[in-house]
């Protein structure tokens, strides 16, 4: 069992839901990333998602793309990100999962990537460009290392396929709220609650919803049907101008924002 | 292992290259495309419709032309040009866009998106969409919008919307990223007509198949007009669609040497060329596993070529397979040599070829000059060069 399995078991026993913030590693630098992770956990996030910058992210909207571009412009390397995580994860009262393109994993070799992630204290992987058909080998490696491999189901996924994805996923199931890329939306699709409700009937695996979520009313609407809600672009946008402002102010603003969502759970 | 002409396998693999590395959102649409394409292949009416379009709308078959004065100048093997530049819209790209436009209609989709580098695929997509009354959006890197202004205007004339892409290196790779992102949100109603043998399965197979008319005609023309097969066949390789279409029907003719020419750019140094088969390593880009220019972390590297159509860090997975099996020899041609070939072909044959194509012309001239006069070298003359005239003039102006 991974740290994520333990976490959701505990949250369910306590009747609590998770607000899962996403931040981009090394935006604007790794020192800030370490500080923002600490801030997010201090505000009550029980799980954090860390985006590994990638040069060609297909599933990401302009806000997260721009954050990846900023991080890569400073030539940050995966080894440096893992080094930062090795120092930070033992101090955090919450597990960290990485969102990482399979291009990066494949380049390092899946066994090496999994070993390095495990050594850095990472609890799980979300690989947005690795469909279930291609994920068999990585699933085995993650299972052996007690890392969760979190798979995604989307509104375009046929139901028989969704069942296969649930079988293969561990830690939680990531339900993508919208047909499209990451980024804040005012309105979420009306069919969302029904689709998640159907998935719930199929499996006990915790379900977390992401893509498009940014407002307290989204949180109020979705928390009853989900184990967790993932918020990315709305946070990354608040970090985007860190270079031009005192860091303390940015941390405060991000913390207050995430707090407002947690309060809406 | 299956013989080369029966690849890819059901997972979209050519050997261990290819596959499908895309967000889950796109998987259902790709599965639908596989299914509809298989049905179309089994449908005689589909083949008939496409064949009629290729004959009456595109002007196929394209001639196999003996380049007499170019041959004299090289002083070796006879050089023949497969004149894809004489197709409607001036390049091989129309072979694929008409086929995929028919698939779009078959799938009941009502909107088309495409990416373009040099603009030839954008023009060919805009043309096919105008022909069938489909709304069309073309993503084009902002740098390429500048380099290939005539094609941008042509696309607009045919009713397409051209969206300049300002992210990343502002070239073909970024245009593909943006087209994929559009498709992520529009996949229920939109077909993505990808322009090369790249991307997730089944695109490398579908584009290759639609382009294979080039190689099939070449084989037939060689047999009927020359009474023999060619000794060497040369094509330029960016993503690799004209080369795949030319090579695929020839693959099982082991006696024909096949040469793919990548963009050698300014130098062999990283970032100075766009030649992943010559200098890259296998990795993932745009949904498939193939040779790519990337760093030790898997981040795609910036590349350079004088030609917008070859300025791409990846290559189709089947080319990687042909490289690995040794069936095709991949080499490169630099910016300066391509420009010289542009000049030479214009002055000896009265043909302005696309700067992409001139990479193949240069290497074909070198090969021909080393061979005896009884040998035959065929070059895929993939596109016409009017679009490049202004850029060539600008480059000369800069050099004084």
Is the pLDDT confidence value at B277 over 90?
yes
Catalytic residues of B: 93, 115, 382
Q: Which residues from chain B sit within 8 angstroms of residue A199, using beta carbons? A: none
Q: Which of B298, B302, B320 to substitute to test the interface with A, most A CBs within 10 Å?
A: B298
Cα separation, B130 vs B112, in Å, equals: 11
Predicted local confidence at residue B399, as pLDDT: 52
Does residue A126 belong to the interface with chain B, where contact is any CB pair within 8 Å?
Answer: no
List pLDDT tens digits, range A212-261: 999 999 999 999 999 999 999 999 999 998 989 999 999 999 999 999 99
Is the pLDDT confidence value at A263 over 70?
yes
This complex has an ipTM of 0.97
Predicted local confidence at residue B47, as pLDDT: 97
Is the pLDDT confidence value at B4 over 80?
no
Does residue B371 belong to the interface with chain A, where contact is any CB pair within 8 Å?
Answer: no
**Who wins on pLDDT, B63 or B388?**
B63
Identify the CA nearest to B26 among candidates B309, B385, B315, B287: B287
pLDDT band at B3 (very low <50, low <70, confident <90, very high): low
Is the pLDDT confidence value at B395 over 90?
no
Minimal Cβ distance to A130: which of B21, B28, B168: B21
Does residue B180 belong to the interface with chain A, where contact is any CB pair within 8 Å?
Answer: yes
- Searching chain A, which residue's CA lies closest to the CA of residue B178? A58
Give kind and range of the element (H or E) at residue B341. helix B335-349
- Mean pLDDT estimate for chain B: 95
Does residue B25 belong to the interface with chain A, where contact is any CB pair within 8 Å?
Answer: yes
List pLDDT tens digits, range B172-222: 999 999 999 999 999 999 999 999 999 999 999 999 999 999 999 999 999
- Residue A14 to chain B, least CA–CA distance (Å): 32
What mean pLDDT comes out for the span B115-139? 97
Share of chain A above pLDDT 70, in %: 100
Is the pLDDT confidence value at B345 over 70?
yes
Q: What is the DSSP string of B284-324?
A: EETTEEEEE-B-TTSPBPP---SSTTT--SB--HHHHHHHH
Q: Is B368 helix (H, G, I), strand (E, B) or coil?
A: helix
Contact A156/B181, CB-based, under 8 Å? no
Identify the CA nearest to A100 among candidates A4, A24, A18, A197: A24
Minimal Cβ distance to A59: which of B23, B285, B300: B23
Residue spans per domain, chain A: 3-264
Sign for the CA dihedral angle at A106, A108, A111, A114 comes to: negative
Share of chain B above pLDDT 90, in %: 90
Is the pLDDT confidence value at B325 over 60?
yes
Cα separation, A132 vs A23, in Å, equals: 25
Lowest mean pLDDT among A214-218, B143-147, B211-215, B361-365: B143-147
- Searching chain A, which residue's CA lies closest to the CA of residue B174? A56
Minimal Cβ distance to B297: which of A107, A131, A152: A107
List pLDDT tens digits, range A168-212: 999 999 999 999 999 999 999 999 999 999 999 999 999 999 999
Query: Chains A and B: how many Cβ contacts under 8 Å?
Result: 117
For the entire predicted model, the pTM comes to: 0.97
Place of tokens 């946070």: A235
Minimal Cβ distance to A55: which of B19, B21, B299: B299
The CATH architecture one would assign to domain A3-264 is Alpha-Beta Barrel (3.20)
pLDDT band at B400 (very low <50, low <70, confident <90, very high): very low
Q: Which residues from chain A sit within 8 angstroms of residue B22, using beta carbons? A: 58, 129, 131
- Domains of chain B, start order: 4-54+93-207 (3.40.50.1100), 59-90+211-395 (3.40.50.1100)
Q: Is the peptide bond before A170 cis (omega within 30 degrees of 0)?
A: no
Q: Which two tokens stand for residue B384?
A: 């016409």
Listed in sequence order, the residues at least 6 apart from B72 whose beta carbon sits closer than 8 Å to its beta carbon are none
Predicted local confidence at residue B168, as pLDDT: 80
Q: Which residues from chain A sit within 8 angstroms of residue B297, using beta carbons? A: 77-78, 104, 107-108
Does residue B2 belong to the interface with chain A, where contact is any CB pair within 8 Å?
Answer: no
Predicted local confidence at residue B258, as pLDDT: 98
Q: What is the DSSP string of A211-259?
A: SS--SHHHHHHHGGG-SEEEE-HHHHHHHTTGGGS-HHHHHHHHHHHHH
Cβ-based neighbour number of residue A216 at 10 Å = 14
């Amino acid at each position: 069992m991974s740290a994520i399995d333990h976490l959701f078991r505990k949250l369910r026993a306590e009747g609590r839901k998770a607000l899962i913030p996403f931040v981009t590693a090394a935006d604007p630098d790794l020192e800030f990333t370490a500080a923002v992770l600490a801030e997010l956990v201090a505000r009550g996030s029980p799980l954090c998602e860390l985006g590994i910058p990638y040069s060609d992210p297909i599933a990401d909207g302009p806000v997260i793309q721009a954050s990846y571009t900023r991080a890569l412009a400073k030539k940050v390397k995966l080894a440096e990100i893992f080094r930062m995580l090795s120092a930070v994860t033992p101090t955090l009262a919450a597990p960290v999962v990485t969102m990482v393109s399979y291009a990066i994993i494949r380049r390092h070799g899946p066994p090496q990537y999994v070993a390095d992630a495990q050594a850095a204290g990472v609890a799980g992987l979300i690989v947005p460009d690795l469909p279930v058909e291609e994920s068999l080998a990585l699933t085995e490696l993650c299972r052996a290392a007690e890392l969760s491999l979190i798979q995604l189901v989307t509104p375009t996924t046929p139901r028989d396929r969704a069942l296969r994805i649930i079988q293969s996923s561990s830690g939680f199931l990531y339900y993508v709220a919208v047909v499209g890329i990451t980024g804040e939306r005012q309105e979420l699709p009306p069919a969302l609650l029904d689709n998640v409700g159907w998935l719930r009937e199929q499996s006990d695996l915790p379900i977390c919803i992401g893509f498009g979520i940014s407002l307290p009313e989204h949180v109020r609407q979705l928390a009853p049907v989900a184990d967790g809600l993932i918020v990315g672009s709305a946070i990354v946008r608040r970090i985007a101008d860190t270079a031009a402002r005192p860091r303390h102010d940015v941390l405060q603003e991000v913390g207050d924002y995430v707090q407002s969502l947690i309060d809406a759970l | 292992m299956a013989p080369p002409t029966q690849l890819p396998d059901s997972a979209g693999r050519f050997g261990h290259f290819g596959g499908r590395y895309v967000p889950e959102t796109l998987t259902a649409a790709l599965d639908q495309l596989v299914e509809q394409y298989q049905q179309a292949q089994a449908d005689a009416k589909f083949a008939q419709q496409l064949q009629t379009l290729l004959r009456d709308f595109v002007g196929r078959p394209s001639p196999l032309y003996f380049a007499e004065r170019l041959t004299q100048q090289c002083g070796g093997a006879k050089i023949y040009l497969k004149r894809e530049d004489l197709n409607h819209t001036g390049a091989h790209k129309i072979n694929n866009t008409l086929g995929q436009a028919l698939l779009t209609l078959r799938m009941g989709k009502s909107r088309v998106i495409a990416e373009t580098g040099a603009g030839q695929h954008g023009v060919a997509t805009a043309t096919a969409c105008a022909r069938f009354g489909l709304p069309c959006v073309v993503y084009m890197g902002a740098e390429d919008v500048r380099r290939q202004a005539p094609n941008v205007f042509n696309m607009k004339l045919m009713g397409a919307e051209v969206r300049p892409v300002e992210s990343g290196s502002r070239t073909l790779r970024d245009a593909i990223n943006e087209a994929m992102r559009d498709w992520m949100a529009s996949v229920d109603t939109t077909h993505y007509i990808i322009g090369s043998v790249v991307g997730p399965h089944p695109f490398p197979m579908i584009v290759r198949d639609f382009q294979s008319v080039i190689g099939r005609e070449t084989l037939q023309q060689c047999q009927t007009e020359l009474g023999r097969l060619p000794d060497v066949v040369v094509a330029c390789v960016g993503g690799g669609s004209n080369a795949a279409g030319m090579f695929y029907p020839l693959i099982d003719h082991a006696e024909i040497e096949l040469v793919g020419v990548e963009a050698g750019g300014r130098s062999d140094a990283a970032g100075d060329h766009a030649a992943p088969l010559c200098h890259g390593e296998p990795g993932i880009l745009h949904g498939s596993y193939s040779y790519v220019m990337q760093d030790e972390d898997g981040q795609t590297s910036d590349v350079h070529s004088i030609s917008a159509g070859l300025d791409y860090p990846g290559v189709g997975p089947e080319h990687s397979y042909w490289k690995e099996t040794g069936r095709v020899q991949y080499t490169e041609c630099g910016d300066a040599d391509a420009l010289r070939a542009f000049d030479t072909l214009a002055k000896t044959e009265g043909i302005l070829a696309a700067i992409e194509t001139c990479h193949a012309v240069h290497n074909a001239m070198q090969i021909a000059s080393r061979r005896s006069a009884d040998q035959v070298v065929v070059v895929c003359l993939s596109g016409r060069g009017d679009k490049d005239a202004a850029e060539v003039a600008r480059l000369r102006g800069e050099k004084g």
